[in-house]
Chain A
Amino acid sequence: MQNKLQQHEEIAFKNAALQDGIPDILCGACLVFWSILMIFDSAGFGGLAFAICFPATLAIRKKIVEPRIGRVQLKKSSLKLNHLLLAGALTFTAVVGVVMFLQFDGGDDGSSFEIGQLRNYGGLLFGLMLAFISTVVGLVWQAKRAHIYAVVIVASFVAVQMFQPADWGGMTLPVMISGCVVLVSGLVLFIRFIKRFPVVSPPEHLFGGGK
């Protein structure tokens, strides 16, 4: 019975957080926007766009989702563990990213042979980092589609690496492809969500407010 309750909790979480596709749209749009910034050599602003869009999207999401599926506050204990796992994975990836950047961005002088070899695969390593984040999100939130995104990300980076070997400069195309896939998937989910859950309001004579 405890397992059944846990299943109910997981279903509640999935219904509340995963079925609307808005987080996918946000992540996909940010990746596409970031790839466009890369074209204009302003990739550094990508993080800023995400930082601005994330809270705005959460507010919009609340306005769209709550009138359709209702308001639910999930158990703090389960959310805390999820947030810890996700924060750990993101911190780990950020540290690896900074180390990679410092190693690869240096000049050729003094670089070891291994670093020189790795530099050729910089884009691919970055793709693996993105795929790792996606996989962790998939595992933590039990979202199967995040695993598919991880496969798509790795596949797009591998394809670009195979046909157009380059170091950091070769990230634009795979980031754009990955972003488009995530964005389109999010849009499909969102349209399905809107169609499946029309806006409902409880009858006031039964559930009136302002007691």
Chain B
Amino acid sequence: MNIDRLIHSPARLSIMTQLMVVESADATWLKGQTDLSWGNLATHIQKLEEVGYVTVKKDFVGKKPRTVFRLSKSGIEAFEIYKKNILEILQ
């Protein structure tokens, strides 16, 4: 059974799950929901961005920078496949 190891890591699974249930979220929201440190969050988001599962949009609100994350189409597909595979293993 082929399990996507990139999603299988607890931290990244947590990030993917959070992004799966919302349209988009910023770093503060993800940190609060996943309980990861800023450094960990940035590292795992970067890995997910590199494979194209997460899209990152950076802009400014007034003078403050804001980074918004959302799952890409391939990210959603990968998560669905991961979900199907893990359920097949467990059943």
- Cβ B25 vs Cβ A71 within 8 A: yes
Chain B, residues 7-33, CB within 8 Å of chain A (1/0): the string is: 000000000011011111111111111
B residues 31-60 touching A (CB-CB < 8 Å): 31-33, 38-39, 41-42, 56, 58-60
Interface residues of A in 183-198 (CB under 8 A from B): 197
Residues of A within 8 A of B17 (CB): 5, 8
Please tell me which one of the listed residues A73, A201, A207 contacts residue B22 in the complex, with CB atoms under 8 A apart. A73
Q: Are B22 and A74 in contact (CB under 8 A)?
A: yes
A72-B24 contact in complex given A206-B38, A207-B42, C-beta closer than 8 Å: yes
Inter-chain contact A207/B67, CB cutoff 8 Å: yes
Q: Determine if A208 and B58 form an interchain contact, defined as CB atoms under 8 angstroms apart.
A: yes
Interface of B is mostly: helix
Q: Do A208 and B31 touch across chains, with their CB atoms under 8 A apart?
A: no
> Cβ of A111 < 8 Å from any Cβ of B?
no
Residue of A nearest to B79 (CB): A5
- A1-58 residues with Cβ-Cβ distance < 8 A to B are 1, 5, 8-9, 12, 15-16
Is A210 a contact of B38 with CB atoms below 8 Å?
no
A8 surroundings in chain B (CB, below 8 A): 17-18, 20-21
Kindly identify which residue among A5, A9, A73, A210 contacts B65, using a CB–CB cutoff of 8 Å: A210
A: contact size bracket:
20 to 34
The majority secondary structure among interface residues of chain A is mixed
Please encode chain A, from 64 to 75, with 1 for each CB lying within 8 Å of some chain B CB and 0 for all others.
000111111111
- Verify if A76 is at the interface (C-beta below 8 Å from B): yes
> What is the bound-complex CA distance between A200 and B87, given in angstroms?
37
Taken together as a complex, chains A and B put the C-alpha atoms of A39 and B17 apart, in Å, by: 52
In the complex, are the beta carbons of A204 and B28 less than 8 A apart? no
**Quick one: given A69-B29, A70-B29, A72-B29, are A206 and B39 in contact (CB under 8 Å)?**
yes
Inter-subunit contact B25/A207 (CB<8 Å): no
A110 within 8 A of B: no
In the assembly, what is the distance between CA of A156 and CA of B39, in Å? Answer: 52
> With a CB–CB cut-off of 8 A, which chain B residues contact A206?
27, 38-39, 41-42
The closest CB in chain A to the CB of B14 belongs to A8
State the B residues within 8 Å of A (CB). Answer: 17-18, 20-33, 38-39, 41-42, 56, 58-60, 64-68, 83, 86-87
Q: List, sorted by A's number, 15 A–B pairs whose CB atoms are closer than 8 Å.
A: A9-B21, A70-B25, A70-B27, A71-B25, A71-B26, A71-B28, A71-B29, A71-B68, A72-B26, A75-B21, A202-B27, A207-B42, A210-B59, A210-B60, A211-B56
